[in-house]
Amino acid sequence: MSRSRHARPRMRLFRRRSADDLLQRSFRTCPGCAADVHVFAEVCRHCGGALELLRA
């Protein structure tokens, strides 16, 4: 088989971000029980402790 002399390997223009990146940014650690809670949660559903909303 012969390749065209102009054929070049394909290069990706954009890298895909992993879906895990978004998932990791959506959670934070509860200071009371160290469980993962959603970033906008006001109360931990594991221990019931109040969570302070953080500003970016």
CB 47 within 8 A of CB 32: yes
* Amino acid 49: pLDDT: 92
* Amino acid 19: pLDDT: 62
Indicate if the pLDDT at residue 53 is higher than 60. yes
* Amino acid 52: pLDDT: 86
CB 35 within 8 A of CB 27: no
> What are the tens digits of pLDDT across the range 1-51?
555 667 777 777 776 666 667 777 889 999 999 999 998 899 999 999 999
Domain borders along the chain are 27-56
